[in-house]
Amino acid sequence: MKKKSDIKDLKNILNSEFKTRRVTASKLDKVLYKPFKVLDHGFVRVIDYMGDDSSIVQAARVSYGKGTKKLNQDKNLINYLLSHRHTTPFEMNEIKFHIKLPIFVARQWIRHRTANVNEYSARYSILDNEFYIPKIDDVKPQSQSNNQGRQGEIEKDLKKHYLSLIKENAKINFSSYKHLLNVDEDGELMDEKRTGIARELARMVLPLSSYTQWYWKIDLHNLMHFLALRFDDHAQYEIQVYAKVMLDLMKKWVPLTYDAFIRNRVDSLTLSSEAIEYLKMRLKNKKDSKTNVNKRELENLKRIFNI
């Protein structure tokens, strides 16, 4: 639960006006500090940023000013840089997010080691009674083709049973957490005659569905790498939904780069040399029985090109 002082500080910031000589993105400015809801208790919001599309052009040309007089020239340059993997100009732009997410999602997320992160400390503070509970439609069995994903369906009553176990587990564990700390929901002592254990020890009983929060600052190049992986259909649903919100925020921040990113990364396809030879062979109407393309890439090719 947010402290009243924190809410007051946030309102003061939102009602303030600042003048600056640096470039700004007006559409992103309008949603600064605004939380965008994700999952049941999570959110994403932008705290600060540096640069816009013109900053990328400026860095590429090592010049002052806001790029060229023609927007189309800036657009073409950004597209060229991204499509040819000239990444340095995109590293000049940075963005800082405040994110609330389940701990198991955070453990996937933190593998992207190219960001600066400061996480809420459960050694210093007491965690809230908030846990991620999936929607019933998102409860699915283990995929038979993907060792780290889910696929298929489960009978509805069985889904409800599994969800009740998840909820009950969170409830029991949080009750144990409070008992170990010897505090109630308001952080007050439950039993004045009993001494609780330290927060750094009590947190061990909490499940991975507990929510944590962090500030996450990253440059634009590495943000795009994160989004390309986590917005992908093969990523876990619970991290995809965060990537979707962040992709929408990126569009408000750097619309020209967003457009180039979608065309050259999200909606594009990278082929192995074997796949290229396979497509050449198919274009010549030759049989594909001798192809060296691995099974997964071959299935992908057939799906995309309707072969």
DSSP, res 293: -
Helices (H) and strands (E) in the chain, counts: 12, 5
Residue 276, exposed/middle/buried by CB under 10 A (0-12, 13-18, 19+)? Answer: exposed
Tell me whether residue 230 is one of the annotated catalytic residues.
Answer: yes
**Rounded to an integer, what distance in angstroms lies between the CA atom of residue 107 and that of residue 102?**
9
Alpha helical stretches, state H, the chain: 4-14, 26-29, 53-61, 71-83, 103-109, 156-181, 199-202, 220-230, 237-253, 255-261, 273-283, 295-304
Find out whether 209 and 102 touch, Cβ atoms under 8 Å. yes
Residue 97 pairs with which residues in a beta bridge?
46, 216
Structure tokens at 72: 């189309």
In whole angstroms, give the CA distance from residue 198 to residue 257.
48
Give the bridge partners for 44, in sequence order: 36, 99
- Active site residue: 123, 199, 230, 303, which one? 230
Which residues are the active-site residues?
Answer: 230
